[in-house]
């Protein structure tokens, strides 16, 4: 069985046009699905024009605290804005994946914040509450892309695990484009932990310097 055949089948449930203030007022199409391999209500945001050969794609894991409330503890909100700004210029697809807290859920994520306040990094805090450091799975993302007819993409990410998992699930990554480094005093420790975990982000801190 090929990787693509192992993905299973999904169908589009609805396509809804919306104007997105965070994408320079561009009209985008929000797409929902039936038959995805997990229970998450994942969403695709399609911004025209889209390169039919290898469109720009961003996989963005939900972060209510950063995306909605503008938390300064992470770089999720700025990464979402960056992706939407790039899609407004170049077109492409953003997959909004309901994987809060690297897959552990919102309440658990907020519990880990208490541990982080005592000096534990974001990955170890997940382990200390009995969860995986990063429980995200990108099978649903691969199925969404294939359902949209996208088999070859340019991926906007600093996370090599996204590249590896999509390729394992039969998606051809034509190019990987790095996201910006949205470094602030509030998220420096968080970004340093991501860099130590293998993310390709150049972060200069008191004990670490990692180059892309």
Residues 114-121: contacts with CB within 8 Å, 24+ apart? 116/73, 116/189, 121/189, 121/190, 121/192, 121/193, 121/196
Alpha carbon of 13 to those of 16, 43, 146, 205: distances in Å? 10, 11, 15, 46
The active-site residue out of 134, 137, 167, 172 is 134
Catalytic residue list contains 134: yes
Catalytic residue list contains 146: no
The active-site residue out of 136, 146, 152, 172 is 136
Q: Where are the beta strands (DSSP E) in 6-112?
A: 11-20, 26-34, 43-47, 56-61, 92-97
Three-state DSSP class for 171? coil
Alpha carbon of 63 to those of 54, 81, 201: distances in Å? 27, 13, 19
Q: CB–CB of 88/82 below 8 Å?
A: no
Instruction: Please provide residue 97's backbone torsions phi and psi, each rounded to the nearest 5 degrees.
Output: -100, 130
Q: CB–CB of 19/83 below 8 Å?
A: no
Instruction: Determine how many CB atoms are found less than 10 A away from the CB of residue 103.
Output: 20
Which residues carry out catalysis? 134, 136
């Amino acid at each position: 069985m090929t990787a693509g055949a192992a993905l299973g089948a999904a169908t589009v449930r609805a396509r809804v046009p919306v104007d997105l203030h965070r994408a320079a007022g561009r009209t985008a199409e929000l797409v929902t699905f039936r038959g995805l391999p997990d229970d998450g209500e994942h969403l695709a945001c399609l911004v025209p024009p889209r390169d039919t050969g290898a469109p720009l794609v961003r996989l963005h894991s939900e972060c209510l605290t950063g995306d909605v409330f503008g938390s300064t503890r992470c770089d999720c909100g700025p990464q979402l804005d960056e992706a939407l700004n790039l899609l407004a210029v170049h077109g492409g697809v953003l997959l909004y994946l309901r994987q809060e807290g690297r897959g552990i859920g919102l309440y658990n994520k907020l519990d880990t914040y208490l541990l982080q306040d005592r000096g534990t990094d974001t990955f170890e805090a997940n382990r200390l509450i009995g969860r995986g450091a990063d429980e995200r799975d990108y099978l649903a993302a691969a199925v969404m892309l294939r359902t949209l007819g996208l088999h070859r993409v340019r991926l906007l990410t600093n996370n090599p695990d996204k590249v590896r998992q999509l390729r394992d699930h039969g998606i051809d990554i034509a190019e990987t484009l790095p996201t910006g480094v949205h470094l602030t005093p509030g998220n420096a420790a968080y970004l340093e932990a991501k860099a130590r975990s293998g993310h390709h982000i150049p972060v200069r801190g008191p004990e670490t310097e990692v180059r892309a």
